[in-house]
Amino acid sequence: MSRFAPPPAELVEADVAHALAEDLGSGDVTAALLPDLADGAYLLCKEDAVVCGRPWFDACHRALDPAVQIHWHVEEGDRVARGTVLATLQGRARPLVSAERSSLNFMQTLSATATVTAAHVEAVRGTGAQILDTRKTLPGLRLAQKYAVRVGGGVNHRMGLYDAVMLKENHVRAAGSLGAAIHAARAMHPTLPLIVEVETLAQLAEALAEGCDRILIDDFDAPTRREAVRIAATAARRIPLEVSGGVDLAGLRAIAEDGVDCISIGGLTKHVRAIDLSLKLGPPPG
């Protein structure tokens, strides 16, 4: 059982059904060349990684062979070294091979997101800053990737356009002022979290005075960012500050040490490079 609360099983199964449908089509003509006999397989990790994606991997194989036995040697969220055998499987050869690519695609992608997130979380350790994701996810895999961010130690930003209000320059322009935009948002969506993006220190002061749940200081240079932290710390109400835009791993620690509360990074889910995994028939080496 994962300690990270994956999406509901029906959502995982829907992801898997779509993946298998696009891969198998009318049937796996290559797997049909194999004898449909009992066989085993093992899942090998070929680089250092944070493991993520077990629910999707399992669902892929059980969709094609409900009797398959999957024995995991690692837990979700474990850091593993290159050469680690993550799991062994016992089932029928044809469905093991037919489910291989889809199951690996999920594991490679989600382990990549978890691994990158873990590196960013480690970079700010001890500063008090949280690493947040964004909505820049792979289409159709938002809940899966945001789960992977949690597995990597990060924190989810809003899930979509429905569960939080985020005011940006277009809203301010339409309302005539930042204060007016905040009032309109509160009137229309009084129960939703309100995040306000500011572009200047004057807007920051206005947002602090009007009140909201978080203030996003987007693309502030380092001196302006530090001044924003100082202003927010002396305000009558404590409102967390979030940094976004132009953040990379090399400069992450310095941003966190300025005293901001959150740093949101689209690259956690957008710039994924799949972790190198393979699924091979037969017993594991050694």
Tell me whether residue 46 is one of the annotated catalytic residues. no
Q: The whole model's pTM is what? A: 0.94
254 and 133 in a common domain: yes
Residue written as token pair 């310095």: 254
137 and 16 in a common domain: no
Q: What's the whole-number mean pLDDT along residues 264-277?
A: 96
Residue 182 belongs to a domain? yes
246 and 178 in a common domain: yes
81 and 187 in a common domain: no
Question: 276 and 128 in contact (C-beta within 8 Å)?
Answer: no
Residue 200 belongs to a domain? yes
Dump pLDDT digits (tens) for 26-69.
999 999 888 889 999 999 999 999 999 999 999 999 999 999 99
Catalytic residue among 23, 78, 135, 136: 136
Question: 263 and 129 in contact (C-beta within 8 Å)?
Answer: yes
CB under 8 Å to 159, separation ≥6 — which residues?
Answer: 142, 143, 146
Tell me whether residue 168 is one of the annotated catalytic residues. yes
Residue 4 belongs to a domain? no
As for how many domains the chain has, the answer is: 2
Residue 3 belongs to a domain? no
Tell me whether residue 210 is one of the annotated catalytic residues. no
Tell me whether residue 197 is one of the annotated catalytic residues. yes
Catalytic residue among 47, 78, 122, 168: 168
Catalytic residue among 218, 227, 257, 276: 218
233 and 139 in a common domain: yes
29 and 104 in a common domain: yes
- Indicate which CATH number applies to the domain containing 149: 3.20.20.70
200 and 175 in a common domain: yes
Residue 169 belongs to a domain? yes
135 and 249 in a common domain: yes
Catalytic residue among 62, 101, 135, 280: 101
159 and 52 in a common domain: no
Residue 233 belongs to a domain? yes
Residue 109 belongs to a domain? yes
Dump pLDDT digits (tens) for 180-238.
999 999 999 999 999 999 999 999 999 999 999 999 998 899 999 999 999 999 998 99
Report which of 158, 163, 214, 231 is spatially closest to residue 192, judged by C-alpha positions: 163
Token readout for 64 is: 């094609």
Residue 2 has a pLDDT of 60
For residue 157, what are the domain limits?
126-270
71 and 140 in a common domain: no
Length of the chain: 286
205 and 108 in a common domain: no
Tell me whether residue 101 is one of the annotated catalytic residues. yes
Question: 118 and 268 in contact (C-beta within 8 Å)?
Answer: no
